[in-house]
Structure 1
Amino acid sequence: MCAKASDVTPVDISAEQNPLRPASERRLDRIAGPSSLVFFGVTGDLSRKKLLPAVYDLANRGLLSPSFGLVGFGRREWDDDAFRAFVRENAKAHARTGWNEEVWRQLAKGIRFVSGAFDEDAAFDKLREVLDQLDAEQGTRGNHAFYLSIPPRSFASVTEQLRRSGLAASENGAWRRVIIEKPFGHDLESARALNDIIESRFPSDSIFRIDHYLGKETVQNLLALRFANTMFEPLWNANSVDHVQITMAEDIGVSGRAGYYDGVGAARDVIQNHLLQLLALTAMEEPLSFGAKDLRAEKEKVLAAVSLGDDLSKTTARGQYGSGWQGGEYVRGFLEEDGMNPASTTETFAAIRLEINTRRWRGVPFYLRTGKRLGRRVTEIAITFKEAPLYLFAPSERASLGPNALVIRVQPDEGVTMRFGSKVPGAGMQVRDVTMDMGYGHAFTESSPEAYERLILDVLLGDPPLFPRHEEVELSWRILDPIEEYWAAAGAPETYKPGSWGPDSADELMRRDGRSWRRP
């Protein structure tokens, strides 16, 4: 006979008591309490390669309670054992930490599967039964988070079923939370409609919008770099900074994602969320604290102060990658990808020039760019400083000297690089650029957790600083919507060569300002 939830003895999971927690990690990290996590879209690539491995890694690091449940919801005709085998296979294949059979056995006790469609009443009634069973048998105490790794068109159906079945409402001191993946709409109007749907089912403080870039260690280190050091903040303004470049480049195409990508494009896929969030963190004022309310307030001020300029033909650029040779391999162009509309005008490269109308940043341009089939995979924030008055050095002595720069590398080689001038050894006074590099892999013995590990743990803890709320989402769409409207009326994007750094129009955008893009 199953025990009732009230009969289960509460488990006090302190850092020292958790039997799954390595001794070396029993001091600083926070541990989630009894709870369960329900994945919708559990058989998709994101779940298989990121989410399920992240759950295992959290368990292996001792950051999940022994009273933890993991529930998959999908159309597959699986029983619990079949789903356990699926989770095990993908966790072993993609987990960051080593395999621990003892940890797996503990995790497997709380794994369940519910078969059904997103609009099926009986399936959600069954989900309610399964979660009640986990409360009674696993001790999850009614605390349940619902991860919607599904297309936005299904959000309304799933959240309404959660409301109908009584799973959306917190009760008896327990909590219920919903996690939604980007995209948060495709324009301002749809983002508002989506938010109205979600907030009609869940309170605003129970909604967690995932932007996985905000979980990356280097992005979080940007706050430490700025506010834990006295050497940077006095220079972090228009008096010293010439311009800022924020780049997210990929060297792959859209193979396998043509159906999703066509009609979305580089700007909606990356700039609206990832890059504008990086811009906000780079440009914001010092918050009163690292709490969610204070961080969000400062980011929102930045996004509200963004200006696009009057002529979008001069402050934006877009392109589509063509066919050609890249890395010794002949690759197809965007319009030749399987399932692609050959008349598509969707961009695979986007670049925009912004300004921020605040006292700190007035007159400093921010250049954002993203694209596929570019020279290499890299995400970075480059702060380029104004040139020093070099009257002491003859032109021939400083020919190899560029402006100082501070580069925060988000991926793949996480770290920080400083570029500055130094004298070349010898009798003369020749100066040239040198770099000072800090790599996370060399500076710290601890390995960085995956972004989804941090974000899933924050959801279970109810800690929202890394999650944008709907005001930030709407402000981002206010910036992007005029650009998308302009592009929609401008015809086809410019073609660029695979392996290059984008179309000529992107270089022209910089040349108008007398600048050039960095070559990461």
Structure 2
Amino acid sequence: MPGTRQPVAKLLLFGATGDLAQRMLLPSLYGLHADGLLPEALTITGTARAEHDDADYQKFAEKALKQFLPEDRKDADKIKSFLHRLGYQPHDASDVEGYKTLAEKVGDVSGGLAIFLSTAPSLFEPVIKGLATAGLAGETVRIGLEKPLGYDLASSREINDTVATAFSEDRTFRIDHYLGKETVQNIMALRFGNSFFEPIWNAQGIDNIQITIAETVGLEDRASYYDGAGALRDMVANHMLQLLALVAMEAPAKFDGAAIRDEKAKVFRSMRPIAPDQVPANTVTGQYGAGAVKGEIVKGYIDELGQPSTTETFVAIKAHVDNWRWQGVPFYLRTGKRMTTRRSEIAIQFKPVPHSMFRNRGGLLQPNVLVIRLQPEEYIQILMMAKEPGLDREGIRLRELPLNLSLDAAFAGKPRRIAYERLLLDLIEGDQTLFVRRDEVEAQWEWIDAIRAGWTANDTKPKSYPSGSWGPSAAIALTERDGVTWQDD
């Protein structure tokens, strides 16, 4: 079964009573069930510390579905039939001996078992050991690993080594939920399904690329994790670098897991390390202070946390991919909390035309920009120059106009699936295309660790920025020094 696309007969969910399970996993699995996409005989066993029997857990799941499912997805009969798939076994993940009882609950795994593991890094060793000891790590079992998968290269390798003692790489599915987003996958369709982009998708045609993931929220209920991680580890080390790789990679020979992940890995290996003496000029860190977001007064990070901290809640980076295609093209990465608006997007600014025939008549040109918006809306937009209507007696007036492809509108009749629906189905079916391979993870951490080492060497402290802004002013200077402006419209 390893390396095949054979669906499993059973699914085991760790952390089955947690926030992720309630908001994402249970609604996603229900959505797949309601549309007839799950194997008919698939059973789902939840496990967590909370004491439930099967009936209790089914009531728990029903409550979560009623709370988090969109109204148009609620169907009483389908919810009822979905709940019949669910079982539950109380279990402390750190208790190696308890896995025998868990294995008895799961039952025969000869027909295939997929495990979804969302747990603290400190529990990986006992979990993997317990699964192996109880017979839940054999050749018919595959495992999905939810982040965080370490906090640096050393800890990531330690986790990967631990997992590898029981699960081969072709049975290991590392999850980055951004890769399950429809618009993220559309990056590949946009690049490799349209002939007119490829000739200019390089250093000869592109001036710079900006990737922004901006959040309006603060700590919420993630204080204990986030203060130990910060924006660089939380967002750049996985989501943003994966987006960069999809934009920068060469065309895979075919659409499959091995080919796509080979090309992404080449990008990560080509990323220019940022040396300690270059870190101050190529990175900016910030921490949000008090301010107003969407008209609501909010506290600063330290007040929200309740203790002093030098953790960055904002980071901006100027990065380079040192290969033939991208030599000299800066990639600007920016992410932060408590920013002015919620937005995830990629902006590709093309080089200007080599000569403007309109200049002597007053016509001003702007470089074309391709914007790929991932959230909250999903669209692809090209900013192009057009002439304003008129007799031009006082000169030609040119305006930048958007050509929009709204994915929400264009595919209005198609169901819009959340990322975890796709990723859970791929885990069940054994398709690794949208999961992250070990060499990718470790190459990402190597690049991230060099930045953190530079911050330490330079005693870098995050600059304060008001909540509801676009971050520290130094982030503006990071691009302005190159004559580039962040795409904030």
Q: What is the TM-score when the length of structure 2 is the normalising length? A: 0.94
Contact 2:95–2:126 (CA<8 Å) still a contact in 1? no
Classify the secondary structure of the residue corresponding to 1:515. Answer: coil
| Superimposed CA distance per residue, residues 467-487 of structure 1 (whole angstroms, 9 cap, x where no aligned partner) | 111100000011111111222
Find 1:341's aligned residue among 307, 311, 315. 307
- Residue 208 (structure 1) aligned with residue 179 (structure 2): no
Change (3 A) 1:65 1:141: farther
Contact 1:209–1:468 (CA<8 Å) still a contact in 2? yes
Quote the residue 1:313 is aligned against.
Answer: 280
Classify the secondary structure of the residue corresponding to 1:85. Answer: helix
Measure, in 1, the Cα distance between the counterparts of 2:198 and 2:318.
23
Find 1:160's aligned residue among 101, 104, 129. 129
Find 1:107's aligned residue among 69, 77, 82. 82
Aligned length: 477
**Structure 1 counterpart of 2:482, which letter?**
D
Instruction: Give how far 1:395 is off.
Output: 6.7
Give the alignment of 1:91-490 within 5 angstroms: 91-96=65-70, 98-132=73-107, 135=108, 142-170=111-139, 175-310=140-275, 311-338=278-305, 340-342=306-308, 344-394=309-359, 397-399=362-364, 401-428=365-392, 429-444=396-411, 445-489=413-457, 490=459
| Superimposed CA distance per residue, residues 439-495 of structure 1 (whole angstroms, 9 cap, x where no aligned partner) | 111101202211000000001110001111110000001111111122234242100
**Structure 2 counterpart of 1:457, which letter?**
L
Change (3 A) 1:395 1:332: farther
Change (3 A) 1:391 1:65: closer
Quote the residue 1:71 is aligned against.
Answer: 45
**Structure 2 counterpart of 1:409, which letter?**
R
Measure, in 1, the Cα distance between the counterparts of 2:294 and 2:360.
38
Classify the secondary structure of the residue corresponding to 1:255. Answer: coil
Measure, in 2, the Cα distance between the counterparts of 1:371 and 1:162.
37
Larger RCO (CA within 8 A; separation ≥ 6): 2
Measure, in 2, the Cα distance between the counterparts of 1:59 and 1:88.
14
Measure, in 2, the Cα distance between the counterparts of 1:354 and 1:288.
27
| Superimposed CA distance per residue, residues 51-80 of structure 1 (whole angstroms, 9 cap, x where no aligned partner) | 111010110111002201111111111111
Instruction: Give how far 1:189 is off.
Output: 0.8
Classify the secondary structure of the residue corresponding to 2:428. Answer: helix
Contact 2:231–2:315 (CA<8 Å) still a contact in 1? yes
Change (3 A) 1:396 1:333: farther
Measure, in 1, the Cα distance between the counterparts of 2:450 and 2:478.
18
CA RMSD across the alignment: 1.6
Contact 2:287–2:301 (CA<8 Å) still a contact in 1? yes
Structure 2: gaps spanning 5 or more residues: none
Instruction: Give how far 1:353 is off.
Output: 0.7
Contact 2:279–2:455 (CA<8 Å) still a contact in 1? no
Q: What is the TM-score when the length of structure 1 is the normalising length? A: 0.89
Measure, in 2, the Cα distance between the counterparts of 1:145 and 1:87.
20
Contact 2:274–2:450 (CA<8 Å) still a contact in 1? no
**Structure 1 counterpart of 2:369, which letter?**
A
| Superimposed CA distance per residue, residues 205-235 of structure 1 (whole angstroms, 9 cap, x where no aligned partner) | 1111000000000000110111111111111
Measure, in 2, the Cα distance between the counterparts of 1:112 and 1:330.
44
Measure, in 2, the Cα distance between the counterparts of 1:98 and 1:219.
24
